[in-house]
Structure 1
Amino acid sequence: MLRGKGTKRQREMRRHLRRLAPRIPYGDAEAVLDGALAPHLRHLPPAIALWQAMTARVRHAHSPYETLLDEGYDRDAARFFVLDDMNATLQDWGVTRRVDADGSDDGADHT
């Protein structure tokens, strides 16, 4: 994550991400930042946009979510079955917040 580069919002997002996920790998950090800076999340505070982008990244890139959907599970069932994988990845990244079965991570990612 480059320091001092970008818009005020981009710099703020990078600072928040370093605090939220201090051990996130560079490639994942860039993907999360890209997601959090997407136009449809522009109206959200950085912390919320980052959380939504981070849970989407973990769900789609670090869990069997897509495979479960391909196997015919509906979105809610697939999300339920990947909770442990998602929370393990978040823990590895140093994130203290967890994804709950009640959908408290829900937001921009509805796939």
Structure 2
Amino acid sequence: MAGGTKRQKDMRKALRQAFPRVPMHDAEAILAVALSGHLRHLPASIAVWQAGTTHIRHELTDYDALLDDGYDRDAARFFVIDDMNEILSEWGSQIRLDPHDP
């Protein structure tokens, strides 16, 4: 996995910096999203961060279940932010999400 385009190499480097202890199966899913076309206009670090936090929210928390139960997006995000921050910590991220940020 050392080869690839410059963009792919930049993404792998950004992933290691943002989430140094991310499990391999999560890293692969995050990279796939970060490399997708809708994020191509973003710098690697921002694309990886967006893909990573989206992956955590949808795959590793109850966010979608809360939406299904009728909570709006903002309320559902508020209720999963502590879980997301715990995962970010486990993955070695230095950044945490603030429940008061939009």
TM-score (ref. length: structure 1): 0.88
Give the CA deviation at 1:100. 1.6
Partner of 1:83: 81
Partner of 2:26: 28
Partner of 2:90: 92
Partner of 1:50: 48
Q: Deviations over 1:14-69 (max 9, x none)?
A: 01111111100001001111111110110100011011000000000111101101
Which residues in structure 2 correspond to 1:3-14 (within 5 Å)? 3=2, 5-14=3-12
Runs of 4+ in 1 over 3 A off after TM superposition: none
Q: Of Structure 1 and Structure 2, which has the larger fraction of its residues in helix?
A: 2
Task: Extract unaligned runs of 5+ from structure 2.
Answer: none
Among all aligned residue pairs of Structure 1 and Structure 2, give the percentage whose two residues are the same amino acid: 57
What do you get for the CA RMSD once the two structures are aligned?
0.8
Aligned residue for 2:54, secondary structure, equals: helix
Q: 2:72 aligns with which of 62, 74, 78?
A: 74
Task: Extract unaligned runs of 5+ from structure 1.
Answer: 104-111
TM-score (ref. length: structure 2): 0.95
